[in-house]
Amino acid sequence: MTERFDPAQADTRWQAAWDHAQCFRADDTSTKPRSYVLEMFPYPSGRIHIGHVRNYTMGDVLARYKRMQGHEVLHPMGWDAFGMPAENAAMEKGVHPGGWTRENIANMKAQLKRLGFALDWSREIATCEPDYYGHEQALFLDLYEHGLVYRKESAVNWDPVDHTVLANEQVIDGRGWRSGALVEKRKLSQWFLKITDFADELLEGLSSLDKWPEKVRTMQENWIGKSQGLQFRFDLSDGGSVEVYSTRPDTIFGASFVAVAAEHPVAQGVAAHSQAAQDFIALCKQGGTTAAELETAEKLGFDTGITASHPFTGAALPVYIANFVLMDYGTGAVMAVPGHDQRDFEFATKYELPILRVVAASAEDADKPFAGEAEAGDGILVNSDILNGLSVADAKAQVIARAEAEGWGEGKTVWRLRDWGVSRQRYWGTPIPFIHCEICGVVPVPKKHLPVVLPEDVDFATPGNPLARHPTWKHVDCPQCGHAARRETDTLDTFVDSSWYFLRFASQPGDRPFDPAQIAQWLPVEQYIGGIEHAILHLLYARFWTRALARIGKIDVKEPFASLFTQGMVTHETYFRINDTNGQPIYFAPSEIERGAESATLKADGAPVEVGRVIKMSKSKKNVVDPDEIVATYGADAIRWFMLSDSPPERDLPWSEAGIEGCARFVQRLWRLFGSETPALPETGEDAGEDKALRRLMHQTICGVAQDIEALQFNKAVAKIYSLTNAVEKAAASSDRQEAARALLLLVAPMMPHLAEEAYARFGDGLIAQAAWPQFDPALLVEDEVTVAVQVKGKLRDTLTVARGTAKEELEALALASEKVQRALDGAPVRKVIVVPDRLVNLVA
């Protein structure tokens, strides 16, 4: 073997060999046990970032290991290819979104191949291609036929510059995330999926996902938001009434005002006779609609002059139009209890309304002042008349019982979850397969006419949706009556694309979205890996989509992902100088920096730069590392090993040059170790003897590394491999050393596949990618020797290394024979001997 391992040569050679042998192509006809390993597929932004490398390395190690364990493994890759970034590029760079996206896919695919991932590229999909989204359109129509898709007018976030609806997450500080324009609330006809029909199922299904992180299940549970409360009526001073819903009816004696949304009939009635109310409602429409927006925005209100009668006390509570109440949530009106709700507290403080404490830790705290904010904690009821002294739960029950008995309210279960609005006013997405006919109304596109393909000749010079102003594409004859009609010009939310892609990976017939028999063979995904940022929406939508397809008889799977792992981010320190002109930091990339032990300088001028915090890698902070540069310098195996080392995989991993250099050195160290062994085992008589300790460690390591990979505790597996490497290096030549070195080669194969193939080729046994995981002897997992402490009058005086299970009499004899023990006894007679087998001998003198 050559003195040094050359990754530049080995990486490309073995990647080509794997492709030629089709090592990673999943066989649908195989009778082996099946493992479906999947990482969340990337958006083709143009470059693979280092976070992708960590994510995909983890999945790759598991997929390679499962294959070595004799499983038929499905480990596919594709592209979440629709969305606004491509459309923005079209507007900013004058390119077509399709060309921009497909060029990015080609670049990123090449990057992934250079890292040696064991991916089944024969199943590659891109959601922007008609052979994917045409099937999505068919599934959308199936759901429509079963009543799970509908269209209605709804309040939306409208960007007046980009002329498009924005998702709540795209509204930042009340402004459009791209244009920066103040967002308006508008009423538009939108398409919805009935996810609320599955609220109970989605909530109950979480209990079966015991291999999901608890925090993810909690986040989904809170998002679904099942709550028991009271829906009741306030009688108004103008002769009308207003319905409200409260999850905390126990706090009813703390109510000091009622607030209604700008679109509420009470608000609209006041505005009909008040210009000031009209102006305030127009102001409300400029705000965002996200929960975060409502929490952080200044609380504003308009006093309608109407009062609401408190159902217990008869007190007249003022009714306000408020900017923090939304018509689409609950009844569009709220009972405001400032002492125990922060939004109400801020509003009451601004408008000098009463703030009453009705829940306290004890009766003695009934008059305790508030410390500048609401208190939402548990306790007992105070200042609440008939409820005083009751627990929160008992008070809730009593208020609901009285409301129902007197006929002014009823107990009700409500959900935070809302139906999923999937309409987007943009070009680069899946066309919604419906046609609008003035005679027939809204008509589904016949399935024989699918896919409805996006037109290529689109104009992005004008803001807004190019499909809506396309001269020909939207004009079509009605499939029912034949008269002139128009296509739906909205496209689907890209979350729809990613809500079923795992099904298409598992089965790809040409004439339908998937074959249910093949889905039953592969699903649910055995291990799903991705970022915590997708813990709510993507995972919830994927769970809903799977259950919806099961309900209409398309598949027989209800939960798509049996096990979920959310990996930590890769982080890096930042480098910057402060701009003398505006006081803002100017950031520099790590490649521009010369880093010392205590300082950092800019390579361009040799002058010092500030070293900032270690944070998530970000283009804006320029603290990103290009995987291609690392692979070119150190090889794919070094970067893969770095991603698995040190930090537990669920925690953030700080990137460092010293760390990757250390990994590269370990690659060379293993190369030298494997090169020191001859391919054939020594002949009898040439063996330098047995090495029982090394043999035992080898079997323990084989078992331990397997368990760690199964548990995705890669850093622990790495630590065990380091220990075995040290032991093999130190061992004298023997058949045990030879066997341990070969086992070590197999153990590192999922993690350092290129190095492993290069070394394994010397044995002439084919590809290590197709080799079996080494076997271990269970009998050798338990140490056959133990260390027994010997105490004299409770103080440690010596230790004994003996065979496990040594008899008490022998342990006592060995202890008494110890010179150290005899010195400690100093001639004193032993009155009592306490023996704990395999652990302790205590002599009492």
Q: Which of 445, 434, 435 is nearest to 484 (CA)?
A: 435
Burial of 151 (0-12, 13-18, 19+ CB in 10 A): middle
Q: How many domains does the chain have?
A: 5
Main-chain dihedrals φ then ψ at residue 267, nearest 5 degrees: -65, -45
- CATH number (domain holding residue 795): 3.10.20.590
Residues 6+ apart with CB under 8 A from 793: 843, 844, 845
Q: Are 638 and 664 in contact (CB under 8 A)?
A: yes
Is 46 within a domain?
A: yes
* Amino acid found at 366: A
Residue 610 shares a structural domain with residue 545: no
Residue 137 tokens read as: 């359109």
Residue 456 shares a structural domain with residue 342: no
Last residue of a domain, one of 468, 494, 520: 494
Residue 145 shares a structural domain with residue 260: no
* Amino acid found at 818: S
Domain range for 338 is 226-415
pLDDT tens-digit series, residues 271-322: 999 999 999 999 987 765 555 555 667 899 999 999 999 999 999 999 999 9
User: Could you say which residues of the chain have pLDDT below 70?
Assistant: 1-2, 167-170, 287-296, 677-689
Is 375 within a domain?
A: yes
Is 149 within a domain?
A: yes
Residue 402 shares a structural domain with residue 438: no
Q: What angle do CA 655, 650, 528 make, to 5 degrees?
A: 115
Taking the C-alpha atoms of residue 140 and residue 479, their distance in angstroms, rounded to an integer, is 18
Residue 723 tokens read as: 């220990």
Rg of the chain over Cα atoms, rounded to whole angstroms, equals: 34
Residue 551 shares a structural domain with residue 608: no
- CATH number (domain holding residue 438): 2.170.220
Residue 244 shares a structural domain with residue 306: yes
Taking the C-alpha atoms of residue 801 and residue 803, their distance in angstroms, rounded to an integer, is 7
Taking the C-alpha atoms of residue 789 and residue 671, their distance in angstroms, rounded to an integer, is 41
> For 372-421, what is the HEC assignment?
CCCCCCCCEECCCHHHCCCEHHHHHHHHHHHHHHHCCEEEEEEECCCCEE
Q: Which long-range contacts (CB under 8 A, 24 or more apart) does 406-413 make?
A: 406/311, 408/232, 408/233, 408/311, 409/230, 409/231, 409/232, 409/233, 409/311, 410/230, 410/231, 410/232, 411/228, 411/229, 411/230, 412/228, 412/229, 412/230, 412/231, 412/245, 413/226, 413/227, 413/228, 413/229
Residues 6+ apart with CB under 8 A from 701: 720, 721, 723, 724, 743, 744, 747
- CATH number (domain holding residue 291): 3.90.740.10
Q: Are 182 and 174 in contact (CB under 8 A)?
A: yes
Is 306 within a domain?
A: yes
Q: Are 363 and 380 in contact (CB under 8 A)?
A: yes
Is 204 within a domain?
A: no
Distances (CA, A) of 426 to 162, 169, 192, 432: 10, 17, 17, 11
Distances (CA, A) of 739 to 569, 640, 767: 38, 25, 18
Alpha-helical runs (H) found in 787-842: 808-816, 819-825
Say what the pLDDT of residue 290 is.
52
Taking the C-alpha atoms of residue 431 and residue 453, their distance in angstroms, rounded to an integer, is 7
Peptide bond into 451 cis (omega under 30): yes
Taking the C-alpha atoms of residue 809 and residue 841, their distance in angstroms, rounded to an integer, is 11
DSSP 681: P
Taking the C-alpha atoms of residue 109 and residue 103, their distance in angstroms, rounded to an integer, is 10
Residue 392 shares a structural domain with residue 533: no
Residue 388 shares a structural domain with residue 246: yes
Is 317 within a domain?
A: yes
Say what the pLDDT of residue 288 is.
56
Residue 381 shares a structural domain with residue 400: yes
Residue 184 shares a structural domain with residue 230: no
Residue 232 shares a structural domain with residue 331: yes
Residue 400 shares a structural domain with residue 464: no
* Amino acid found at 75: H
Is 45 within a domain?
A: yes
- CATH number (domain holding residue 554): 3.40.50.620
- Polymer length in residues for the chain: 845
- Would residue 239 be called left, alpha or beta, if left means φ above 0 and alpha means ψ between -120 and 50 degrees? left
Is 695 within a domain?
A: no
Say what the pLDDT of residue 295 is.
62
Last residue of a domain, one of 475, 494, 513: 494
pLDDT tens-digit series, residues 159-191: 888 777 776 656 777 788 778 888 887 888 999
Q: Which of 613, 533, 522, 607 is nearest to 567 (CA)?
A: 533
Last residue of a domain, one of 373, 391, 415: 415
> For 570-602, what is the HEC assignment?
EEEEEEEEECCCCCCEEEECHHHEEECCCCEEE
